[in-house]
A and B are shown apart, each in its own frame.
Chain A
């Protein structure tokens, strides 16, 4: 046996995961019945806030819990599995991080986040109408600025996404964006990657719960005198759901592990996030289609929980870059890697060997 460790096991703090699982299981039992529109759950948000979970990944210096991406991804996934109507990705993982990167204060009140266009308009801003403040990342000619804009200073046109979440158009006063703090030029890409990985973590959490619902259904529902899961055609649909969900989880967990161990500085992050986003996106097709097929008519109703998961899964897989765009990005990386460097790209996310001056990596 070699002395140097061969592998490391990147797992989220198991005590925290236990707490989260308990909390969201409990939420699932008590949450309001399914509806077309999701209302922000202030009660749940309050409970999360009391436990420090609304600021889980923000640094301790800025009043957060300083947890890493392993924990943040666990929270995102478990909350998504419970279809919790709370903006953890927006408020904590993205907005709090942007404020910190810009050196701006964070009073912990509810925030969402967006990237307005040059004219100051941002579309598809989830939870804007519920937030007290919106963190805007704005490309001002060739530099990026971050502003923390009180919601009442912006014009909000309310909308809804497929999941039924508030998903609004926000028009800013350009002066509020122009006065934003200039941040590092890499923040734009970082924001896109973090958003994409947060969405992936949410989708795999949702898919885990879909599988649970599917397995329970096919073992309980009886037709032709036996549980439908005994029919091979049904069993194979369920196996496909489980396998695709597992593949998506492996891809996502690998990207999260890389983000956590390098604090996002690993040059292979673009590839790793792309792999997650691609696998998650394509898995969503199989999982959603298969789950609805297996559930039969009951799964198409408002009353049944399934759509509380399948709609967000489809909605989120297209955010922070469509599945196709991510496939294209990966195709470009792969083709420029070429024949001999494709495998290093697959393993490390980098086609070129690490330059010696940059040290190990």
Chain B
């Protein structure tokens, strides 16, 4: 038999369900109190540092960060259910999303002791906000072609170049920049890349807004004008940037934000059908079914990643249940299916609604926002075309 694409499903036990109830009760209370208005794609577009800090106070940030670094020392599975509950109600989670999802785990894996002490407690309290500095004007899908240069100087590295599409850079304290620290060797394109922890408040950094088609400002162009990064802010090993960046893709691509970005719109459509303002239609069932199945897939991968993390940490025989599934290929599959589904939900509701829909209405404003955000779903974090290639490779096609 071929090896399965997705790890075997796992079943949530009461300890996790209790955690869900706790988070759910808090969120219901916040919505009642008007602390936020549920929306779509909030993990990219809705910043609320107070809300983020409140999550930190409640122990729902830095969940996988060990307690000696100010985190909660809990598992990826617990983190998973907390993030699901936050996403389905469309809570304003953008301020901490990137730090919480990938910066923290990267620091844990590659950071020095000093770096962990410097950043992880602040991330876990929701006080330090991070972005991702990978894409450049001439380097999108072909990330290894980045041109930002890192030149050796006394005690550090001088970074020169331009990063683009940097979500939240104008609000962030820092980002991880991927830069070329050795000249390109066409035979080994992935060599010579390094990651740097960049303080975005440094004077040599210029952040210019890029306005999205709906008029919002969430991403930016970040110009690195020769900022010197001290050796103590090199992440991991010089020259290992590529493998460091790609090793976290499993977390970045398989999480619930890859299929729940438009859940609020789906929920609004369900209630509109219940009230009769939209026709009851079988398509709703089809989309709900896909979301449910995606939850199972994504959760299974989270469980496999947890096992991988445990076995990395020296646990015994932990990887057994995940079998020999390649988690990164599985994560790519969740991202393609999930982000397509988020967009299909949008398009589905759009095809059901007539143009006379009242503008101030909740469903209408969710729909309009979803239509505007939709193109990004299947681009960000690796486009679906690139990811299909990853899956094909995982299947042995090349």
Q: Which residues of A contact B (CB under 8 A)?
A: 1-2, 4-11, 21, 208, 211-212, 215, 218-219, 227, 229-230, 232, 235-236, 238-240, 242-251, 253-254, 257-258, 261, 271, 274-275, 278-279, 282, 324, 326-340, 342-343, 345-347, 360
Tell me the smallest distance from the CB of A361 to a CB of chain B, in Å.
Answer: 10
| Residue in A257, A282, A339 whose CB lies within 8 Å of B267 | A339
| Residue in B4, B273, B303, B397 whose CB lies within 8 Å of A215 | B397
Query: Could you tell me if B274 and A338 are in contact, using CB atoms closer than 8 angstroms?
Result: yes
Interface string of B290-304 (1 = CB under 8 A from A): 111111110010010
Tell me the smallest distance from the CB of A53 to a CB of chain B, in Å.
Answer: 18
B78 within 8 A of A: yes
Name the B residues within 8 Å of A336 (CB-CB): 274
Query: Could you tell me if A278 and B294 are in contact, using CB atoms closer than 8 angstroms?
Result: no
Query: Could you tell me if B10 and A235 are in contact, using CB atoms closer than 8 angstroms?
Result: no
In whole angstroms, how far apart are the Cα atoms of A232 and B30 in the complex? 48
Residue of A nearest to B310 (CB): A1
Query: Could you tell me if B285 and A1 are in contact, using CB atoms closer than 8 angstroms?
Result: no
Query: Could you tell me if A331 and B282 are in contact, using CB atoms closer than 8 angstroms?
Result: yes
Query: Could you tell me if A327 and B78 are in contact, using CB atoms closer than 8 angstroms?
Result: no
Query: Could you tell me if A326 and B15 are in contact, using CB atoms closer than 8 angstroms?
Result: no
Name the B residues within 8 Å of A215 (CB-CB): 2, 395-397
Name the B residues within 8 Å of A329 (CB-CB): 285
Name the A residues within 8 Å of B292 (CB-CB): 251, 254, 271, 275, 346-347
Query: Could you tell me if A7 and B294 are in contact, using CB atoms closer than 8 angstroms?
Result: no
**24 residue pairs bridging A and B, Cβ less than 8 Å apart:** A1-B74, A4-B14, A7-B303, A211-B2, A229-B398, A235-B397, A236-B392, A242-B5, A242-B333, A247-B293, A251-B289, A253-B9, A278-B286, A279-B293, A324-B282, A327-B284, A330-B284, A332-B285, A334-B288, A335-B270, A342-B263, A342-B266, A342-B270, A343-B263
In whole angstroms, how far apart are the Cα atoms of A215 and B263 in the complex? 34
Residue of B nearest to A4 (CB): B15
Query: Could you tell me if B2 and A335 are in contact, using CB atoms closer than 8 angstroms?
Result: no
In the A-B complex, the 5 residue pairs with the smallest Cβ-Cβ separation, listed nearest first, are: A330-B285, A278-B289, A331-B285, A235-B392, A327-B282
Given known contacts A230-B397, A279-B293, A342-B266, A235 and B78 CB-to-CB distance under 8 angstroms: no
B236 within 8 A of A: no
Residue of B nearest to A3 (CB): B15
Q: Which residues of B contact A (CB under 8 A)?
A: 1-2, 4-6, 8-16, 20, 73-75, 77-78, 88, 263, 266-268, 270-271, 273-274, 280-286, 288-297, 300, 303, 321, 333, 336-337, 385, 388-389, 391-392, 395-398
Given known contacts A243-B336, A253-B9, A343-B263, A9 and B270 CB-to-CB distance under 8 angstroms: no
In whole angstroms, how far apart are the Cα atoms of A338 and B293 in the complex? 19
| Residue in A227, A240, A278, A339 whose CB lies within 8 Å of B268 | A339
Given known contacts A235-B392, A331-B273, A7 and B333 CB-to-CB distance under 8 angstroms: no
Name the A residues within 8 Å of B392 (CB-CB): 229, 235-236, 238-239
In whole angstroms, how far apart are the Cα atoms of A274 and B283 in the complex? 13
Name the B residues within 8 Å of A275 (CB-CB): 288-289, 292-293
Query: Could you tell me if A6 and B397 are in contact, using CB atoms closer than 8 angstroms?
Result: no
Query: Could you tell me if A2 and B398 are in contact, using CB atoms closer than 8 angstroms?
Result: no
Query: Could you tell me if B1 and A21 are in contact, using CB atoms closer than 8 angstroms?
Result: yes
In whole angstroms, how far apart are the Cα atoms of A45 and B183 in the complex? 67
Query: Could you tell me if A208 and B1 are in contact, using CB atoms closer than 8 angstroms?
Result: yes
Query: Could you tell me if B288 and A247 are in contact, using CB atoms closer than 8 angstroms?
Result: no
Name the A residues within 8 Å of B285 (CB-CB): 274, 278, 326-334
Query: Could you tell me if A219 and B266 are in contact, using CB atoms closer than 8 angstroms?
Result: no
Residue of B nearest to A258 (CB): B11
Name the B residues within 8 Å of A332 (CB-CB): 280, 285
Residue of A nearest to B323 (CB): A11
| Residue in A1, A239, A247, A278 whose CB lies within 8 Å of B391 | A239
Residue of A nearest to B289 (CB): A278
Residue of A nearest to B336 (CB): A243
Given known contacts A219-B397, A242-B395, A327 and B12 CB-to-CB distance under 8 angstroms: no
Name the A residues within 8 Å of B300 (CB-CB): 250
In whole angstroms, how far apart are the Cα atoms of A244 and B391 in the complex? 12
In whole angstroms, how far apart are the Cα atoms of A338 and B280 in the complex? 12
Name the A residues within 8 Å of B283 (CB-CB): 327, 331
Residue of B nearest to A236 (CB): B388
| Residue in A11, A235, A279 whose CB lies within 8 Å of B321 | A11
Query: Could you tell me if A251 and B280 are in contact, using CB atoms closer than 8 angstroms?
Result: no
Query: Could you tell me if A334 and B270 are in contact, using CB atoms closer than 8 angstroms?
Result: yes
Query: Could you tell me if A238 and B395 are in contact, using CB atoms closer than 8 angstroms?
Result: yes
Name the B residues within 8 Å of A337 (CB-CB): 270
Name the A residues within 8 Å of B73 (CB-CB): 1
Given known contacts A215-B395, A346-B288, A7 and B88 CB-to-CB distance under 8 angstroms: no
Tell me the smallest distance from the CB of B295 to a CB of chain A, in Å.
Answer: 6
Query: Could you tell me if B14 and A240 are in contact, using CB atoms closer than 8 angstroms?
Result: no
| Residue in A236, A239, A250 whose CB lies within 8 Å of B293 | A250
Query: Could you tell me if A335 and B284 are in contact, using CB atoms closer than 8 angstroms?
Result: yes
Query: Could you tell me if A331 and B281 are in contact, using CB atoms closer than 8 angstroms?
Result: yes
Query: Could you tell me if B13 and A8 are in contact, using CB atoms closer than 8 angstroms?
Result: yes
| Residue in A8, A250, A324, A330 whose CB lies within 8 Å of B296 | A250
Residue of B nearest to A249 (CB): B6
Query: Could you tell me if A7 and B388 are in contact, using CB atoms closer than 8 angstroms?
Result: no
Tell me the smallest distance from the CB of A287 to a CB of chain B, in Å.
Answer: 13
Query: Could you tell me if A247 and B16 are in contact, using CB atoms closer than 8 angstroms?
Result: no
Name the A residues within 8 Å of B9 (CB-CB): 10, 250, 253-254, 257
Name the B residues within 8 Å of A10 (CB-CB): 8-11
| Residue in A7, A282, A335 whose CB lies within 8 Å of B77 | A7
Name the A residues within 8 Å of B396 (CB-CB): 215, 219
